Amino acid sequence: MFRHTSEVHGWYAERRRAQRHVVTLTPLDRLDGWSFDPATGDLRHASGRFFTVEGLQVDTDHREVDSWQQPIIVQPESGILGILVKEFGGVPHFLLQAKMEPGNINLLQLSPTVQATRSNFTRVHRGGAVPYLDHFLAPRRGRVVFDSLQSEQGSWFLGKRNRNMVVETTEDVPLRDDFCWLTLEQIGDLLSVENLVNMDTRTVLSGLPGTYGGRFGGGGAEDRGLHRMAELLSWFTEAKVGRRLERRRVPLSKVEGWSVGGERVEHEEGLYFSVVGVDVEAEGREVSRWSQPMLAPASRGVVAFLTRAVDGVPHVLVQARTEAGSRDVLEIGPTVQCAPENYRHLPAELRPRFLDEVLGAAPSRVTLDVVHSEEGGRFHHAENRYLVVEAGDDVPLDPGDDFVWMTPEQLGALVRHSGYVNVEARNLLTCLRYLR
């Protein structure tokens, strides 16, 4: 355990020196164990496990364009993202690990106690066992604090979910080399550091109940806002039943507007993302060598909340958002969620609503501005700029057009159920609540 956050940085630097990791970009057609299906062009592993990269046709009535095709990752299995918590001296401490992921810009980031796909923890790859997994599989010892199936990035995954868990224990827990106990206060300090606390840790922490505290709303006052929770649930339901989202898988080799070649899969105008290959050598992982495809975004994204106080109560502006891979038509997303560069070819009226309000805000109105990585197991050097901006007077209390104001407590309450809040909003909510 660390008395001061500065000590965590020293421990993290030592773990980076102690581990050897090499990630090499490799043409897709040279990846060991992976190949393009001769009939469809889909990219798949020889074992038939892990995941595939396929094509998707999307038709919807609530996006900037109403029809498109794209590659998408298909990974039906659900993994476990679990954080173990234990009190020391009456203070809850959370067990995180310095974990390498091949897509991380800096390779090593602070991850949950357990961050594993089902293929990992059932040992399909014949690698080592996942440490501390027994705390999260039934019959488990300890008290469940939070347990919910949560979505992953709907723009890049088709219906992907992971089980987000926090489990409290009173047992002695042997501490392995790459793991450390941190207080929520220390994690909040570390959230201000670029690319340090990984996406999976942030999404799990978004489900913590208010008893664990929070800088900007910690729970327990779910009907204190502009709208009662029942009204917000009705708004969400009405948005869901009023939208159209139709998807069908298409052969990857036939996806319109995309080039599928031996080296990579990429958009013809260089927008959105590419699919690239990597060869990986990694110490401290269940398997020390492997190859895989990864999705590499073409530019940095923006994930932002507009905020305002209503009768002295903090609120965030959220939207009902549909994504290509959404499991059930839509989820609640942040005010702004996009990669601005992807809209340069579209007319001004098709730019995401409130994007200019966020990017053009005076520095005095920006209360949070930090860059964090997205999931490094499937995405290569994917970053988003996370922003919280005080809304100007021209942003109405009744914004309409699929937007609504709610309190952070109300949003946090919805996170504790499956299928309501998308991963981008969950990650930003954690930064909002705990970043000091």
H/E stretch holding 245: strand 245-250
What residue type is assigned to position 242 of the chain?
Answer: G
Helices 423-434 & 408-415 angle (0-180, nearest 10) = 130
Q: Is the Cβ–Cβ distance between 10 and 222 less than 8 Å? A: no
d(Cα 22, Cα 114) in Å, to the nearest integer?
22
Amino acid (1-letter code) at residue 262: G
In contact, 82 and 117? CB cutoff 8 Å: no
Q: Is 383 exposed, middle or buried (0-12, 13-18, 19+ CB in 10 A)?
A: middle
- pLDDT computed for residue 211 by the predictor: 65
Quote the pLDDT of residue 212. Answer: 64
Show the 3-state SS of 154-177: CCCECCCEEEEEEEECCCCCCCCC
**What is the sign, positive or negative, of the torsion defined by CA atoms of 164, 168, 171, 172?**
positive
Count CA within 13 A, CB hemisphere, residue 421.
28
Which helix (DSSP H) or strand (DSSP E) does residue 318 occupy? Answer: strand 313-321
Q: What are phi and psi of 146, to 5 degrees?
A: -155, 135
User: CA-CA distance, 109 to 196, in Å (whole number)?
Assistant: 5
Query: Any alpha helices (H) in 65-165, and if so which ranges?
Result: 118-121
Pair of tokens at residue 154: 């709907």
Beta strands at 161-168 and 79-88: parallel, antiparallel or unpaired: parallel
User: For tokens 């490799």, what's the residue?
Assistant: 26
Regarding beta strands 383-390 and 301-310, do their DSSP bridges make them parallel or antiparallel, or are they unpaired? parallel
Instruction: Give the whole-angstrom CA distance, residue 133 versus residue 154.
Output: 27
pTM of structure: 0.95
Separation CA 420–CA 410 (nearest Å): 12
Residues 203, 145, 233, 213, CA torsion sign: negative
The helix/strand count (H/E) of the chain reads as 8, 24
**Are the C-beta atoms of residues 270 and 255 closer than 8 Å to each other?**
no
Q: List C-alpha distances in Å: 241 to 161, 320, 332, 334.
A: 22, 12, 14, 20
Torsion of CA 114, 117, 119, 121, to 10 degrees: 20
CB 386 within 8 A of CB 294: no
Residue 189, H or E segment: helix 184-190
Distance CA 425, CA 303 (A): 8
pLDDT one digit per residue (tens) for the chain, 436 residues: 898 999 999 999 999 999 899 999 999 999 999 999 999 999 999 999 899 999 999 999 988 889 999 999 999 889 999 999 999 999 999 999 999 999 999 999 999 999 998 766 665 555 578 999 999 998 888 899 999 999 999 999 999 999 999 999 999 999 999 999 999 999 999 999 999 999 999 999 999 997 665 544 444 457 789 999 999 999 999 999 999 999 999 999 999 999 998 899 999 999 999 999 999 998 777 788 999 999 999 999 999 999 999 999 999 999 999 999 999 999 999 999 999 999 987 888 889 999 999 999 999 999 999 999 999 999 999 999 999 999 998 999 999 889 999 999 999 999 999 999 999 999 999 999 998 7
CA distance 247 to 264: 24
CA dist., res. 320 & res. 322, Å (int): 7
Q: What CA–CA distance (Å, rounded) separates 126 from 290?
A: 12
